[in-house]
Structure 1
Amino acid sequence: MFKSVVYSMLLILLTFCSKKDEKIQPNLTTITESVYSSVIIQPDSLYQVYAIVNGILERNLVEEGDLVSKGAALAQIINTNPKLNAENALLSYNLAQKNYSGSNAILKSLEEKIKAQKLKLINDSINYFRQKNLWDQYIGSKAEYDTKELSYQLSKNSLNLLKSEFGRTKNELQIQLKQAENNYKNSVTTTEDFKVTSKINGKVYALNKNPGEIINTTQPLASIGSANTFIIEMLVDEVDIVKIKKGQEVIIILDAYPDKTFKALVSKIYPEKNERNQTFLVEANFVKAPEILYPGLSGEANIIIAIKKNTLTIPKEYLIEGTKVRTEDGIKEIVLGLQSMDVVEILSGITEDTWIYKPEK
Structure 2
Amino acid sequence: MGNDYGKGNRSGQVVLLLFLLSLILICPACEKKKVEVTGGKAINVRVQSVEKRSFRPFVESIGTLMPGEEVVVSSEIEGLLRSVRVEEGTVVSKGMLLAAIDYTNYSLEVKRAEIGLKQAEATLENARLEYQRKEALYKEELVTKQQFDDVSTRLSLAMAEVERAKTTCALSRERLSKTTIYSPIHGIIREKKVSAGDYVRNGTNLFAVIQNNPLKLNFTVTERDVGKLRIGQDVIFRVDAFPGKEFKGRVSILYPSLEERTRTLQVEARVPNHDGLLKPGLFANVTLYTGGQRDTTVVPITSILYDDSRTRVFVVEGDRAREREVKIGSKYGELMEIAEGLKGNEMVVVVGQNNLSEGVKVNVAR
Normalising by structure 1, we get a TM-score of 0.61
Task: Tell whether the 8 Å contact from 2:56 to 2:289 is kept in structure 1 after alignment.
Answer: no
* Count of paired positions: 306
What does the per-residue CA deviation read over 1:98-146, in whole Å, with 9 as the maximum and x for residues that have no partner?
A: 56x232x3x77877887787667xx9xxxxxxxxxxxxxxxxxxxxxxx
Where do 1:236-315 residues align within 5 Å?
Answer: 236=220, 239=223, 243-254=229-240, 256-257=241-242, 259-266=243-250, 268-269=252-253, 280=266, 282-285=268-271, 292-306=277-291, 308-314=293-299, 315=301
In structure 1, what is the Cα distance between the partners aligned to 2:86 and 2:266? 35
- Structure 1 residues 196 and 13: CA distance shift in structure 2, 3 A: farther
- Structure 1 residues 48 and 23: CA distance shift in structure 2, 3 A: same
In structure 2, what is the Cα distance between the partners aligned to 1:216 and 1:15? 86
What does the per-residue CA deviation read over 1:134-191, in whole Å, with 9 as the maximum and x for residues that have no partner?
A: xxxxxxxxxxxxxxxxxxxxx9xx9xxx7xx969x85x97676446424413422432
1:39 to 59, 64, 70: 64
Letter in 2 for 1:33: F
Letter in 2 for 1:298: F
Q: CA deviation at 1:293?
A: 4.1
In structure 1, what is the Cα distance between the partners aligned to 2:160 and 2:236? 58
Letter in 2 for 1:266: R
1:339 aligns with 2:330: yes
Task: Tell whether the 8 Å contact from 2:214 to 2:273 is kept in structure 1 after alignment.
Answer: no
Normalising by structure 2, we get a TM-score of 0.60
Q: CA deviation at 1:36?
A: 1.0
Look up the match of 1:61.
85
Look up the SS of the partner of 1:312 in the other structure.
strand
Where do 1:1-361 residues align within 5 Å?
Answer: 17-18=43-44, 21=45, 23-29=47-53, 30=55, 32-42=57-67, 47-68=71-92, 71-78=95-102, 82-83=106-107, 85-86=109-110, 89-90=113-114, 93-94=117-118, 97=121, 101-103=124-126, 105=127, 177-178=162-163, 180-199=165-184, 203-224=188-209, 229-236=213-220, 239=223, 243-254=229-240, 256-257=241-242, 259-266=243-250, 268-269=252-253, 280=266, 282-285=268-271, 292-306=277-291, 308-314=293-299, 315=301, 317-318=304-305, 321-322=309-310, 325-327=313-315, 330-336=322-328, 338-340=329-331, 343-357=335-349, 358=353
In structure 1, what is the Cα distance between the partners aligned to 2:293 and 2:41? 37
Identity across the alignment (%) = 15
Task: Tell whether the 8 Å contact from 2:237 to 2:284 is kept in structure 1 after alignment.
Answer: no
In structure 1, what is the Cα distance between the partners aligned to 2:255 and 2:340? 36
- Structure 1 residues 192 and 286: CA distance shift in structure 2, 3 A: closer
Q: CA deviation at 1:245?
A: 3.0
What does the per-residue CA deviation read over 1:3-46, in whole Å, with 9 as the maximum and x for residues that have no partner?
A: xxxxx99xx8999614xx2554422122632141321253x565
**Aligned Cα RMSD in Å?**
5.0
Task: Tell whether the 8 Å contact from 1:263 to 1:287 is kept in structure 2 after alignment.
Answer: no
The unaligned stretches of length 5 or more in structure 2 are: 1-33, 357-366
Task: Tell whether the 8 Å contact from 1:234 to 1:282 is kept in structure 2 after alignment.
Answer: yes
- Structure 1 residues 64 and 114: CA distance shift in structure 2, 3 A: same
Q: CA deviation at 1:312?
A: 0.6
Q: CA deviation at 1:309?
A: 3.4
In structure 1, what is the Cα distance between the partners aligned to 2:330 and 2:170? 64
Letter in 2 for 1:339: S
Look up the match of 2:10.
none
The unaligned stretches of length 5 or more in structure 1 are: 1-7, 124-154
Look up the SS of the partner of 2:290 in the other structure.
strand
What does the per-residue CA deviation read over 1:29-80, in whole Å, with 9 as the maximum and x for residues that have no partner?
A: 22632141321253x5654433332223233223334445554432232355
